[in-house]
Structure 1
Amino acid sequence: MKFTIVFAAAALASTAAALQPVYAQCGGAQYTGGKQCVSTAVCTYINAYYSQCYPKPT
């Protein structure tokens, strides 16, 4: 039981750490970093080599 709780906590922490902040890269050819933006931003396609997190429109 203790192992399951620790494992679940580690999984949640790694998911949160993978969120890209506003104005960070979130995709593109050969990009290996996080591909999901924080909840206040959206990943916007720029070209095949670069996508970036921009603030969501209000």
Structure 2
Amino acid sequence: MAWTHFDGPERQVFREAAGLPGDAWRRARGWALWKAPATMAVLDDDHDGLTAAAG
């Protein structure tokens, strides 16, 4: 959620509110990094709206 919906300052507020330790935050960031190309890999021209939402 932090990388999909929030920008820098908003992401920091979310991080502070979540209260997760640094290692959990790093794992979440890695998951978001994995999810983006995995999502884009299954999309084709018939899913233009999903491509825009994923990008």
TM-score of the pair, normalised by structure 2: 0.38
> Which has the higher Rg, Structure 1 or Structure 2?
1
TM-score of the pair, normalised by structure 1: 0.37
Higher relative strand content: 1
Higher relative helix content: 2
